[in-house]
Amino acid sequence: MGNIITQNKKNNVYLILTGIISFLGLIFSILLLFPQVRLFIIHFAEDYLIQRKVNFHERWLDTIFTWAKGLLFILSIFIFFTFINPGKILFNQILNEIKFCLSKIDFKHFIKPFFLITGIYLFGLIAIILADFSYIDDIDRALRGFRGWNGWSRHLNDFLSTFIHVDFFLADISPLPQFLAILLMAFSSVLLVYIITGKITCFTIIASIPLFLTPYFLENFSYKFDAPYMALSVFSSVVPFLFITARKAFIFTSIISLLVMCLTYQASSGIYILIVITLCFLDFNCKRKSIKDIFIFIGIAAASYIFSMIFFRLFFFVNTAGGYGVSTEILSLKDIFPGVILNLNNYLSLVINDFGIVWQTIILFLLILFIINSFKQSSYRRITGVIIPVITLILLFIFSYGVFIILKAPLFSPRAFVGLATFLAIVCIYIVSCSSKHGFIAVFALNWCFIVFAFSYGNALADQKRYVNFRVESLLHDLNRLFPDRTSSDPHILLHGNTGYGPYTENISRSYPIIKKLVPNNQFYHVYKYMNGYFHWTEGKKWEEVKYDLPIIFDSYYHIIKSDGSYITVEFKN
């Protein structure tokens, strides 16, 4: 009896302390919403903590202020679940449902498939890892130590990177982040196969290879700093479906997981929808559930998805209109139909142009097999049995582009097509799960094409790295010869054009058109890296502000250098 009383006292003390901390956090979050409070914190940090002015790239302050809005809501929910009786009851129900769902899963059966797919991913990506290519933003992050994901509403990246890099400023710790990405994508593959088929075999786990080794996701993996967070967005989109048999747990995990996806990489926004469509197709095609139950599931999933998107938009969204030539502005009601059609047309055209004839042929064959196998497995016959898989494939492709489909100017770079990788993985998994020998051969052929391409792409990155370094070293040699004396008034340098592609990349682009989209040819960051402050750096976009009639002081096979003493313009020859 005494032990029970002591335990109750400890629980009461714990609840009191938790309540005090929660309410203080709530008040702090509300205060941070006021601009005057944020300004005071910045000035306090500058004067007493770091004793210098906060520069633009120290985005941890922005992170605190942005998270204040979300923290305000999170603490409110926490207080409701912890201290308000209806909330406590609801939370216990959700927790019990989560425990029940997890208890029905034998995770021991996940171990071998996990190591198998991890080994395959490591094998397929080894050339990219060995290339050690600093991809686009990687150079700037490594040089300046900044994160800057806040500007794209990826606030969780800023938060997690502090722990991964063990500092507020980033250092290049590759290939550790890429290894983390491989582990997360291996987990995602295992879970996706389990959710779709209910069991995992060697053949179905191999069929999930397109989830990660599709050329589009290879660009995501190429970012040394971003890769684990992009992989986390995929993983978080898959996790909720482990709790699909428990309504409250499914809603709760869906909302949390979708928010994680939005806060890491919004290009994965279509994956959750694709899995919902796939599960509805399987239930309807084989009459595993009634139409009423299927619509109830769609309604629950849609409500969870919409709530997460609205919450993200209200509390965490940052408008990035104009960045990379894209806009996060949503199409108006009057423009939504033609706008969506235009986005889909561009999306489809890019996919067709990016894939070579061999890939297109295999994928077309797989889509036909999907329809045939669906017809064989279907509880419906004749025209209905054919229409169901056709409509499913159309919906899967449309929603693979996620929320980007309703934006005025969406991103059309390869890294934005994460959903297409999931679309191909779902098609392959379903075909193999139907025990089709011809299907497995076709799936294996497509996966082998992707693995071969991954090696070609990795070698192309290595060749491009050598080629760009050669071009940059040639430029620096000429600049050093033309401007040997460093003074207090070093001239500004502006760069124009690009170095083009190395011979290897040019060669393989004949077979793989997408390679030129994946391999960067922008040399500006490389020049900046090697200059090390020798000249005042000015971004290439300032080129238009400089006169074109500067005198030419050097003209070589690779570049033209002009200068009037105050400005230097370098025009790369491609």
Question: Does the pLDDT of residue 37 top 80, yes or no?
Answer: no
| Cβ burial 349-361 (10 Å sphere, 16+ → b, else e) | ebbeebbeeebee
Phi, psi (5° rounding) for residue 223?
A: -75, 110
For 102-149, the pLDDT digits (tens) are: 999 988 999 999 999 999 999 999 999 999 998 888 887 887 777 778
Mean predicted lDDT score pLDDT of the chain: 83
At residue 381, does pLDDT exceed 60? Answer: yes
Residue partners of 127: CB distance under 8 A and separation at least 6: 454, 455, 456, 457, 458, 459, 462
- For residue 186, name the pLDDT band (cuts at 50, 70, 90): very high
Yes or no: say if 504 and 460 are a contact pair by the CB < 8 Å rule. yes
Region 283-301 average pLDDT: 93
Is residue 496's pLDDT more than 60? yes
* Cα–Cα dist 240/258, whole Å: 9
What Cα–Cα distance (Å) separates residue 238 from each residue in 48, 315, 321, 374, 562?
45, 23, 29, 23, 54
Under a CB-based contact definition with an 8 Å cutoff, are residues 374 and 304 in contact?
no
Q: Is the pLDDT of residue 174 over 50?
A: yes
- Whole-angstrom Cα distance, residue 67 to residue 87? 23
Q: Which range has highest mean pLDDT (57-66, 81-90, 131-140, 225-234)?
A: 225-234
Q: Give yes or no for residue 23 having a pLDDT over 80.
A: no
- Give SS3 for 568: strand
Q: Which amino acid is at 446?
A: L
Q: Quick check: 19 pLDDT over 70?
A: no
pLDDT beyond 80 at 79: no
Number of H helices, E strands in the chain: 23, 7
Residue 379 above 70 pLDDT? yes
348: Cβ contacts below 8 Å, ≥ 6 apart: 397
pLDDT grade for 533, boundaries at 50, 70 and 90: very low
pLDDT score, position 540: 45
Residue 10 clears pLDDT 60, i.e. is over it: no
15-34 per-residue burial string, b: 16 or more CB within 10 A, e: under 16: eeeeeeebeebbeebeebee
Which two tokens mark 477? Answer: 């040699």
What is the rounded distance in angstroms from the CA atom of residue 384 to the CA atom of residue 378?
9
Determine if residue 455 is left, alpha or beta; phi over 0 gives left, psi from -120 to 50 gives alpha, anything else beta: alpha
Structure tokens that stand for 242 in this block: 């482990």
Tell me the three state secondary structure of residue 409. strand
Ramachandran region, residue 323 (left: φ > 0; alpha: ψ -120 to 50; beta: rest): beta
Least confident of 74-78, 242-246, 259-263, 402-406: 74-78
The residue to which tokens 């890099």 are assigned: 165
Where is mean pLDDT largest: 43-57, 209-223, 535-549?
209-223
User: What number of residues does the chain have?
Assistant: 574
CB 188 within 8 A of CB 274: no
Q: How far is CA 441 from CA 348, 417, 438, 445, 461, in A?
A: 26, 25, 5, 6, 30
Give the C-alpha separation, 308 to 321, whole Å.
22
Whether residue 175 has a cis bond before it, omega within 30° of 0: yes
Report the pLDDT averaged over residues 178-188.
Answer: 96
56 pLDDT band, cuts 50/70/90, is very low
Q: Count CA atoms closer than 13 A to 233's CA, side-chain side.
A: 29
At residue 409, the pLDDT reads 85
Tell how strand 492-496 and strand 536-537 pair up.
parallel
Q: Alpha-carbon Rg of the chain, whole angstroms?
A: 27
With b meaning 16 or more CB within 10 Å and e meaning fewer, what string describes 232-256? bbbbbbbbbbbbbebebbbbbbbbe
Q: What is the mean pLDDT of residues 168-174?
A: 85
pLDDT of residue 333: 84
Task: Please state which of the ranges 57-61, 227-231, 346-350 shows the lowest mean pLDDT.
Answer: 57-61
pTM of the model: 0.86
* pLDDT value at residue 541: 47
Report how far residue 492's alpha carbon sits from residue 497's, in angstroms, rounded to the nearest whole number.
17
Q: Percent of the chain scored above 70 by pLDDT?
A: 77
Residues in Cβ contact with 29 at an 8 Å cutoff, skipping those fewer than 6 apart: 68, 69, 71, 72, 75
pLDDT for the residue numbered 159: 80
Does 188 or 157 have the greater pLDDT score? 188
Beta bridge partners of 554: 561
pLDDT tens, residue by residue, 393-440: 999 999 999 999 998 888 888 999 999 999 999 999 999 998 767 788
Nearest to 481 by CA among 443, 525, 534: 534
CB 273 within 8 A of CB 322: no
DSSP conformational letter for 535 = S
Write down the pLDDT at residue 78. 67
Alpha-carbon dihedral angle through residues 153, 155, 160, 165, given to the nearest 10 degrees:
80
| 546 band by pLDDT with thresholds 50, 70 and 90 | low
Range with lowest mean pLDDT among 148-162, 310-324, 371-385, 514-528: 310-324
Reply yes or no on whether the pLDDT at 11 is more than 70.
no
Distance from chain centroid for Cα 320 = 16
